[in-house]
């Protein structure tokens, strides 16, 4: 035990850094409460409980704080603390800029074939102007009728159309085929397997039953994440933090004004662990009204070892420039550029998705 750190001091340090970064109060409180609960234990009891995994039986100690304590006692700087220290005081603006510059494409976009506002050609030309090497077209799947989701037949026609559009686009740029497929209530994906197989990139998102209870939502997401066709888990919590920007329409929103929506409830650590295990990327959705996942969950996905995709979910050409927002949040959470799949070339990206399905 000679090299053990002081776990209570580590928990307090984490709380301090979270406060300084203006994180949610309850998050800070989790570390302060754990520090307080553990301060009453003898060193021997603390070591014993860390060893047999019973720290979480104490009021105020959760999985994350217990893990920090175990790491401290093993003489390691807790991963959670290390990430906070790595991002504090660094030039986040420069980091976000570097991350944005490293992105070579966008893996979540919509055209007027579903609920986007513009033809595929216009989306592609805007992407070329932004300096992208590729744009993944991910219109909605059949059951999202409110967003004019594409039936299998319409999707096949879209694939033919994309091939024609690609032939006319500048060298060095291409539209990759894709879909934003609904994750259905049982966790299955709302499109034919042969089509999912054929597409370059499959983003899967939950659009219904967002208020379902925790165990049901967790099961649904775990089933989807384990599906080898699913490459990227889209807007993970489904939250809406603010009203939709002026002039922007989207699924289920026509005719409605301001609305917000709470995060759906699921076991995020289990879902992120599954994403890491199955090599499914977690989307950082750049839309200002979504900002999904929230920063505390991005940090947990980083800890879990997940890959990421920083996407715009653009429904109009100008929105393709929203990647900067996602990059800022990624930089704040210490997302390394080499874990972001859209920093890869189109060839690398497609090799990855096809190696999985
Ligand atoms: Zn969506
Ligand atoms: Zn979308």
* pLDDT at position 258 over 80: no
pLDDT of residue 156: 98
Cα of 40 from ligand 1 centre, angstroms: 47
Cα of 24 from ligand 2 centre, angstroms: 27
pLDDT of residue 256: 44
Cα of 313 from ligand 2 centre, angstroms: 5
Strands (E) located in 186-266: 201-205, 232-233
Sign of CA dihedral 311, 323, 249, 116: negative
pLDDT of residue 89: 63
| Mean pLDDT (whole number) for 309-322 | 95
Find where tokens 């580590």 sit: 10
pLDDT of residue 202: 98
Sign of CA dihedral 279, 268, 239, 97: negative
Q: How far apart are CA 212 and CA 231, in angstroms?
A: 24
DSSP three-state, residue 181: strand
Say what the pTM is: 0.76
Computed on alpha carbons and rounded to an integer, the radius of gyration of the chain in Å comes to 22
Is the separation of the CB atoms in 46 and 69 below 8 Å? Answer: yes
How far is C-alpha 189 from the chain's CA centre? 18
Q: Phi and psi for 144 in degrees, rounded to 5?
A: -85, 70
| Mean pLDDT (whole number) for 18-26 | 77
Question: Which segment of 1-5, 106-110, 167-171, 223-227 scores lowest on mean pLDDT?
Answer: 1-5
Tokens read off for 268: 């995020």
Sign of CA dihedral 181, 187, 191, 193: positive
DSSP three-state, residue 136: strand
* pLDDT at position 247 over 50: no
pLDDT of residue 21: 73
Cα of 308 from ligand 1 centre, angstroms: 16
pLDDT of residue 357: 59
* pLDDT at position 183 over 50: yes
Give the H/E segment covering residue 105.
Answer: strand 105-109
Report the side by side order of strands in the sheet with 105-109: 105-109, 134-137, 174-182, 201-205, 232-233, 281-285, 308-311
Cα of 269 from ligand 2 centre, angstroms: 24
- Judged by its nearest atom, the ligand closest to the C-alpha of residue 237 is 1
Confidence of residue 246 (pLDDT cuts 50, 70, 90): very low
Sign of CA dihedral 296, 277, 69, 219: positive
DSSP three-state, residue 182: strand
Cα of 275 from ligand 1 centre, angstroms: 18
pLDDT of residue 23: 74
């Amino acid at each position: 035990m000679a090299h053990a750190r002081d776990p209570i001091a580590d928990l307090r340090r984490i709380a301090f850094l979270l406060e300084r970064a203006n994180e949610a109060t309850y998050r800070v409180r989790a570390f302060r409460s754990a520090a307080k609960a553990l301060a009453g234990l003898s060193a021997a009891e603390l070591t014993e409980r860390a060893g047999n995994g019973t720290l979480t039986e104490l009021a105020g100690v959760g999985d994350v704080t217990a893990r920090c304590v175990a790491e401290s006692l093993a003489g390691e700087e807790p991963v959670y603390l290390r990430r906070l220290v790595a991002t504090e005081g660094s030039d986040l603006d420069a980091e976000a800029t570097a991350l944005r510059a490293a992105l070579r494409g966008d893996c979540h976009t919509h055209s007027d074939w579903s609920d986007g506002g513009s033809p595929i050609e216009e989306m592609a030309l805007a992407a070329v102007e932004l300096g992208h090497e590729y744009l993944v077209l991910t219109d909605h799947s059949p059951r999202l009728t409110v967003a004019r989701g594409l039936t299998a037949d319409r999707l096949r026609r879209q694939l033919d159309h994309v091939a024609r559009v690609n032939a006319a686009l500048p060298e060095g740029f291409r539209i990759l085929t894709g879909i934003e497929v609904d994750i259905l209530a049982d966790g299955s994906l709302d499109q034919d397997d042969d089509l999912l197989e054929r597409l370059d990139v499959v983003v899967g998102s939950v659009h219904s039953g967002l208020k379902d209870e925790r165990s049901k939502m967790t099961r649904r997401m775990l089933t989807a994440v384990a599906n080898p066709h699913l490459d990227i888990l889209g807007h993970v919590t489904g939250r809406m933090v603010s009203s939709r920007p002026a002039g922007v329409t989207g699924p289920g929103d026509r005719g409605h004004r301001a609305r917000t929506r709470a995060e759906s409830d699921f076991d995020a650590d289990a879902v992120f662990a599954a994403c890491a295990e199955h090599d499914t990327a977690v989307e950082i959705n750049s839309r200002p009204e979504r900002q999904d996942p929230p920063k505390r969950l991005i940090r947990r996905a980083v800890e879990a070892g997940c890959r990421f995709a920083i996407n715009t979910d653009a429904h109009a050409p100008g929105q393709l420039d929203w990647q900067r927002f996602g990059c800022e949040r990624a930089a704040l959470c210490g997302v390394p550029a080499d874990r972001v799949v859209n920093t890869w070339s189109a060839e690398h990206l497609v090799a990855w998705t096809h190696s999985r399905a």
